[in-house]
Structure 1
């Protein structure tokens, strides 16, 4: 971790302070369409000279930017060409040092599996001022949009959010699936579409009841949102047709999944 001095600002409950030239704003774009972004996030986009945008950021929000703002696509797609994180960090610093108002816009919240801290540290090393504008994290909001609370009185008293980008047993995996299977908490799996079969098999092998409810919410926060409900033993097969982005919820609360009727319009 860097020991460089960091200049980090945050927003108050009032009007967003102007985004000063030479400042980077790390903006969470929320869990779906632009209407789910925060007011502060929108205000930052409206002031941007340049936006560095991920593929899960709400595309409608780009219409809020000034007409002469530069928009740079730095999205990362699984198993496809992508912009390395080091290049993104360098672009943030480069544009800020040129006196521009820089907005780094990504989906959900940038500090939940979003490498937000890496970007903050890169700016700190370069002595670039950073404003953090959190977004509504998809790990909680997407289940809610699918009718699933991650906690519920009398059922579960906590939840665990895990990354599924590598399968159990992979050298890069640091997850303890025995502990997760025995935790008694709701499990929320992000980036786990390709590895869902391996993840559910590992949980069952480590003691999780195969009949435990499970659900996959795909394209959460969008009009074409889809919810697939099953048990942990068969959710991978039932949701085999689902494409990213999708979030899997495993636990008793997944039984609440709204699989028959879309709930997006009701929620927002």
Structure 2
């Protein structure tokens, strides 16, 4: 477990600013997504609701993380003094337990798959994501190197399953999407995988020689950057996908209506 006593005043203030920035990004993303929900077709509004819910949950937890950070230590006569309240790292894992499965579900919903495929993929991917977070927590709060390494390995098993499903399992479903959104959906899936790959790397930092205040700065900043990319940036991609798919669906309806109109028009006989 990382100890706050090793922080310098500058490091303590920097991390506090990182948490504040994370809160601002999540809050603004939530407002944007929910306010723009009406600009997409009804079929994609549930995906938008869940997208905003993800950033709203993350924003709430960043507020709690920041308050816990401020309560765990204080600055006095140029030194960081631990108050004894402790910094609650569980807030991150509660957030991930709720938001990580939802991130996968919002991508599946915006793809507008069949009901059976949507349910099946949501349960499998959401369950694997929850298991990954649960397995990672004991190592995060442990002061034992062996324990941290063991739970990192265990958490990587469902993580690799998710990566396989995102890269290979969704390939056929992405291929059936409208041409104008195939690239965006593929980019969203890759973004999710790449940003999530950042978490196990940050998780390992205390095990590769980075210690003291530098380790705390690296871990908390790394997790925050990964959160912003996988939630706020991902939310903007989901919004763009929903907008383009709405336009594609509308063009398809117009073309179908025009086709039916031509079929109903009687053909005049030439005298």
Task: Calculate the TM-score normalised by the size of structure 1.
Answer: 0.24
- Structure 1 or 2: more strand by fraction: 1
Q: Which has the higher contact order (CA 8 A, sep 6+)?
A: 2
Report the structure, 1 or 2, having the larger helix content.
Answer: 2
- Between structure 1 and structure 2, the one with the greater Rg is 2
